[in-house]
Structure 1
Amino acid sequence: MSPEFRANPYPLYAALRRDAPVVQVDPGGLWAVSRYEDVMHILKTPKVYTVAGLRLAADPPWIGRNPFADSMLFVDDPKYHGRLRGAVSRPFLPASLSRLEPALRATAEACTQRVLERRRADFIEDFALPLPASALGTLLGLDPSLNPRLKEWSDGIVAISASQPGDTEQIAQCKRIVAEMEQYLGELIARRRAAPTEDLVSELLQARGEESLTDPEIMGFLFVLLVAGLETTLHLVGHSVRILAEQPGLLARLRADLSLIPAFLEEVLRFEPPVQATMRLCTQEVTLAGVTVPQGSVVMALMASALRDERYTPDAEHFRLERKGPHNLGFGHGMHFCLGAPLARLEARVALESLLPRCAALTPGPEPLAWNVSMTVRGVRSLPLEIHPA
């Protein structure tokens, strides 16, 4: 959690892959696993490495109650997980995304106009945040005035995993945010039950049969949707634009050929994945990279390290637009592959398709970047940039 590590974790990841691919680290004696082969083994073997480990990070004893930890993100049982996932999958299907795209594009155009007029902007606040917030607002029928609270809520939930018993101020804030979210979403569910509208909450409440969810199951899904739906896209867009500001030649290539944007985003997901790690609980004693890990241990699968593993990706420490091959670890793997991955990719593509034709250059601000606090998600809190119109 040190500022130095948050600013650049990759040298330590490289050292771990080379010298200690499975090793205990602070906080809490987690077993960090850094090589691609071992990370994939963990993600592909849920009976041995259960998401109960991730639940321990999201639902520590001091939090009291966290509906986020009651969602499908923390369910390994294939039948139960499949029922929950199937019930909420419609908004992420191609037909639904195509209907959502015009609204996303309108938001992206408005954000582009805003940052071009200001010339100097915090790209997170002025662009990367409004885009996924608008998508969530459209799906759930939320008022745009809620957008700042969405970011505060999301920051608070992802900070739970990094909060230690002595962090009294941060713990109090996390508890407050969980309570605020639960109260707001509980009231939203009650309003939609009394007066349904054309949104996802109403649809979930009206579902019957296999797709019917209980109120606690709906609450858990809404927690995940608001947090994961905001964090993944916000940081994907933030990382993308930061890389373009740092590499003007890359920006020029994309401006000259917008069809390169999807390939660029896939390399961003490999090179700077918003979700850096996930945690699993060992249901038995295991041996990884020659190291014995006791039953009951929590392993931290460092997906961001795995994606830079030289054994898997040649020249992995460099950003290569021409790189071939799937790098879907940025969205997880197996049954817990991110349900919202198509939406996040769409939002990021639309953002760049709107911005790049009208932006000749991006100049990073002089201020040092401030990074978020989380064991699993990494991104900047703000991104000061000077935007040069084309």
Structure 2
Amino acid sequence: MLMREPIDVMSPEFRADPSPFYARLRSEPIQQVEPGGLWAISRHEDVQYVLKNPKLFSSTFLQQIMRPEWLAGVGNPLSESILTMDPPHHTRMRALVSLAFTHKTIARLEASIRQVAGELAEDVRRQQEVDFVQAFALPLPAFVIAELLGFPPELRSKLKQWSDDIISITASVPEPPERIAYLRSSLAELQSFLREVITDRRARPREDMMSELLVAEVEGRRLTDSELVAFGTVLLVGGLETTVYLLGHTVRRMAQAPKVLARVRAEPALIPSRVEEVLRLDSPFQITLRLTTQEVELGGVKLPAYAPVAVMMGSANRDERQFEQADELVLERRSPQLLSFGHGVHFCLGAPLARMEAHLALEELFARCEGFVLSQEALKWNHSLGIRGPVELPLHAIPARRGADAGARSS
């Protein structure tokens, strides 16, 4: 039997289209991949099992991956965040941050999100030739994060730069000296900025989440400044990366399926199910990492203790054992078992906000644009082990016909 080369999840081919690689992994569901000989968990049932069993599969491995030796003296706030904790520490931290991340907090943003989305969509309709990421997919969630945390709106580009820098860091991939120097400077700048915000909110509280986090208290305990910096970083990365790439993936797929777009425009009530299908097929968060705490048998394979595990939500969401027509967009699909926002104790706190942003954004966009034509240039994908999305999406937007179009909304 011929031995095949292990799949490299950081390769350009994988980044461009992971679906055939996922299919190969699911055919032999527990196997090692590069970089670093990670044990890939690719089937839905197994991924779900790993995510709901933190006693067997520890999130603390993320601390090592996110904090390479060359960050000594600077640190990575994401590596000290709620993402890298196991219960009971994670339980206490989540209880604290949940006090500020409420449905009321999210609901108060709805009107402003719709207004900004409408203004951005009108710009896309008017300009027609745009990079969709820069024209729409980035500015909207950047506005939301700025509103949520009380950041100056002019920081839009800087917020995305910080977020991109953080998610590109992994101890398993070597970096050249000039890149190391740049990343150290970028992370130092981010942490300095967040500490300035914390100092300001402590002196002058506002109606924003950072002010609410400062006074959040559970059993007499409040968040430390370092914990506030870490959670602010989580919100920055999660809030930007999820929605930027979700919007980009959605419009890319709409351009490839004009009949589906026409139906969604005629029936805006279908937008939520459309968003769920994009989350299933093109989840922004594709892979997370865990470490076995003891020998574990999974999928008929015995994983040794302290084995690094790549948990492939992107593959699980395409598992043909769980979803019929798993690689196709099915508009009326009911998919209660999506793993795009995780599962178990680490299920994403920001999932309701991301969904609301996407629903409102697409309502406003589809009301003003009846179609999209993608550029023939090859897409450029971001550089990250766990998150996948286009960094640029040049396209031509076809304006909706005013008045004559049932899907149009006056601006």
TM-score (norm 2): 0.91
**Aligned residue in 1 for 2:95:** 86
Equivalent-residue separation in structure 1 for 2:191 and 2:367 (angstroms): 41
Q: Secondary structure at the match of 1:309?
A: coil
| Residue correspondence of structure 1 range 53-72 to structure 2 within 5 A | 53-64=61-72, 65-72=75-82
The alpha-carbon deviation at position 142 of structure 1 amounts to 1.1
Which of the numbers 110, 113, 129 marks the counterpart of 1:104?
Answer: 113
Equivalent-residue separation in structure 1 for 2:155 and 2:103 (angstroms): 27
Residue 284 (structure 1) aligned with residue 261 (structure 2): no
Equivalent-residue separation in structure 2 for 1:12 and 1:209 (angstroms): 45
**Aligned residue in 1 for 2:30:** 22
Q: Structure 2 regions of 5+ residues with no counterpart?
A: 1-9, 401-411
| Residue correspondence of structure 1 range 346-365 to structure 2 within 5 A | 346-365=356-375
Measured against aligned partners, the alpha-carbon deviations of 1:209-254 in whole angstroms (never above 9, x if no partner) come to 5362111111110010111111111111111111101111111010
| Residue correspondence of structure 1 range 328-339 to structure 2 within 5 A | 328-339=338-349
| Residue correspondence of structure 1 range 1-390 to structure 2 within 5 A | 1-18=10-27, 20-64=28-72, 65-78=75-88, 80-90=89-99, 92-161=101-170, 164-210=173-219, 212-390=222-400
Q: How many pairs align?
A: 388
Q: Structure 1 regions of 5+ residues with no counterpart?
A: none
Deviates more, 1:238-247 or 1:196-205: 196-205
The alpha-carbon deviation at position 206 of structure 1 amounts to 2.9
User: Is residue 162–residue 190 contact of structure 2 (8 Å, CA) maintained in 1?
Assistant: yes
Judged with a 3 Å threshold, the aligned counterparts in structure 2 of structure 1 residues 209 and 310 are, in CA distance, closer, same or farther, namely: closer
The alpha-carbon deviation at position 166 of structure 1 amounts to 4.3
Measured against aligned partners, the alpha-carbon deviations of 1:245-291 in whole angstroms (never above 9, x if no partner) come to 11111110100000000111111111110000111001111222222
User: Is residue 35–residue 172 contact of structure 2 (8 Å, CA) maintained in 1?
Assistant: no
Q: Secondary structure at the match of 2:328?
A: coil
Equivalent-residue separation in structure 2 for 1:147 and 1:25 (angstroms): 36
Judged with a 3 Å threshold, the aligned counterparts in structure 2 of structure 1 residues 226 and 380 are, in CA distance, closer, same or farther, namely: same
Equivalent-residue separation in structure 2 for 1:338 and 1:375 (angstroms): 18
AA in 1 matched with 2:275 = L
User: Is residue 92–residue 342 contact of structure 1 (8 Å, CA) maintained in 2?
Assistant: no
AA in 2 matched with 1:351 = A
User: Is residue 128–residue 396 contact of structure 2 (8 Å, CA) maintained in 1?
Assistant: yes
AA in 1 matched with 2:161 = E
AA in 1 matched with 2:29 = P
Equivalent-residue separation in structure 2 for 1:278 and 1:387 (angstroms): 35
Q: Secondary structure at the match of 2:206?
A: coil
The alpha-carbon deviation at position 117 of structure 1 amounts to 1.4
Judged with a 3 Å threshold, the aligned counterparts in structure 2 of structure 1 residues 162 and 384 are, in CA distance, closer, same or farther, namely: farther
User: Is residue 51–residue 75 contact of structure 1 (8 Å, CA) maintained in 2?
Assistant: yes
Percent of aligned positions with the same letter in both sequences? Answer: 49
Q: Secondary structure at the match of 1:260?
A: helix
The two structures, once aligned, show a CA RMSD in angstroms of 1.5
The alpha-carbon deviation at position 162 of structure 1 amounts to 7.2
Q: Secondary structure at the match of 1:386?
A: strand
Equivalent-residue separation in structure 2 for 1:265 and 1:105 (angstroms): 17
The alpha-carbon deviation at position 163 of structure 1 amounts to 6.1
User: Is residue 279–residue 299 contact of structure 1 (8 Å, CA) maintained in 2?
Assistant: yes
Measured against aligned partners, the alpha-carbon deviations of 1:272-324 in whole angstroms (never above 9, x if no partner) come to 10000111001111222222221111100111101111111111011111212
Equivalent-residue separation in structure 1 for 2:101 and 2:203 (angstroms): 26
AA in 2 matched with 1:33 = I
**Aligned residue in 1 for 2:403:** none
User: Is residue 162–residue 373 contact of structure 1 (8 Å, CA) maintained in 2?
Assistant: no
Equivalent-residue separation in structure 2 for 1:185 and 1:326 (angstroms): 36
User: Is residue 132–residue 229 contact of structure 1 (8 Å, CA) maintained in 2?
Assistant: yes
Q: Secondary structure at the match of 1:329?
A: coil
Equivalent-residue separation in structure 2 for 1:130 and 1:383 (angstroms): 14
User: Is residue 146–residue 153 contact of structure 2 (8 Å, CA) maintained in 1?
Assistant: yes
Q: Secondary structure at the match of 1:328?
A: coil
User: Is residue 61–residue 291 contact of structure 2 (8 Å, CA) maintained in 1?
Assistant: yes
The alpha-carbon deviation at position 91 of structure 1 amounts to 5.0
Judged with a 3 Å threshold, the aligned counterparts in structure 2 of structure 1 residues 163 and 156 are, in CA distance, closer, same or farther, namely: farther
Judged with a 3 Å threshold, the aligned counterparts in structure 2 of structure 1 residues 100 and 172 are, in CA distance, closer, same or farther, namely: same
